[in-house]
Amino acid sequence: MSEHWSPLLFATVPLTLVTLLRPELVDLPQAWFGACAAWAVVAVVRRSDMEDHVFLYVAWLLAVAISLLDRESFTETAALQGRRLIGVVFGLAVFWKLFFGDFVTGVALWTYGALDDRFAPLMRLVGISPEETQRSFESVEHLAVGHLETLPIEVSTYTSLALVLVAVGALLLEALVAVAYSAPDGGRLERLRVPALGLFGVITYGLVPVLSFATLLALMGSVVARFERRRVVVLVLMVVAASVRSILV
């Protein structure tokens, strides 16, 4: 799930090493504009080799570069940029889930569960046994190659309800993150940002370990939280959850 065009490492690793040797370079907006341009060009040219976290990363590099234009207000500007980007990304995630309609009915989760081993814990939680999952896998495979025209999803009432509850719960959590980060600083919603993002991350990345996205969101979330230690710890937890799950999968 964490794919980007690997030759980009050859541009990024030397740049990282240079900044380790000369940390003052990190303060130069030009360095960030340059990194952003390199990733942006490759993201456009090799679009199909990139996953969505790369596009968010490009926007974030640009955000840091712009924030560095005025060093006095860097922390506040970078926090504002991070807030906006997280709000937009989660807003989009909610939009698509409502737009397609397959998610809120639980059908999308059932289908992923049939095809993707990483969803095995979720399948067990909603009352689908490994044997049933195997049968679902075979049915979906037949459907996917056109050997079946239709496949009615036949599950127990408990499973059906549980799938909808999980889906709606996940959707509400994403919506809460979108709203909390879109809302201005200083209000009640600000206090919900880190708990909502952290809970989303631990649950989602604890199930499907998208480590790259978890790390990027944790970094941006930490900037928005002005690196307040208690909040950063919560965000680091979602990276830990993704890492542990990556090892276990």
Partner 1 sequence: MPARRALISWLPVGVLVAFVAVQIFLMTTVSADPQSGSGFAMFSTVDILSTRRIVATGIVFDEPITFDIPDDLQEQAMRLRSQPTTARATQLARELAERQWDPVVEGAFARPTSVEVTVWGITAEGRTLSSRAMAAGAAP
Residue pair 60/220 in contact by the 8 Å Cβ criterion: yes
Number of residues forming the site for partner 1 (CB under 8 A): 54
Residue pair 43/58 in contact by the 8 Å Cβ criterion: yes
What x/- string results for residues 136 through 175 when contact with partner 1 is judged by CB under 8 A? ----x--xxxx-xxxxxx------x---------------
Residue 99 found at the interface with partner 1 (CB under 8 A): yes
Q: How far apart (Å, rounded) are the C-alpha atoms in residues 135 and 145?
A: 16
Residue 111 found at the interface with partner 1 (CB under 8 A): yes
Q: Return the structure tokens found at 213.
A: 């996205």
What x/- string results for residues 7 through 46 when contact with partner 1 is judged by CB under 8 A? ---------------------------------x--x---
Select from 221, 223, 218, 220 the least CA-distant residue to 236.
218
Residue from the set 93, 123, 162, 225 that interacts with partner 1 by CB under 8 A? 93
Cα–Cα separations (whole angstroms), residue 215 to 94, 138, 201, 235? 21, 35, 10, 9
The values of phi and psi at residue 117, to 5°, are -60, -25
Q: Which residues bind partner 1 (CB under 8 A)?
A: 40, 43, 47-48, 50-52, 55-56, 58-60, 62-63, 66, 69, 77, 80-81, 84-85, 88-89, 92-93, 96-97, 99-103, 105, 107-109, 111-112, 115-116, 140, 143-146, 148-153, 160, 208, 210
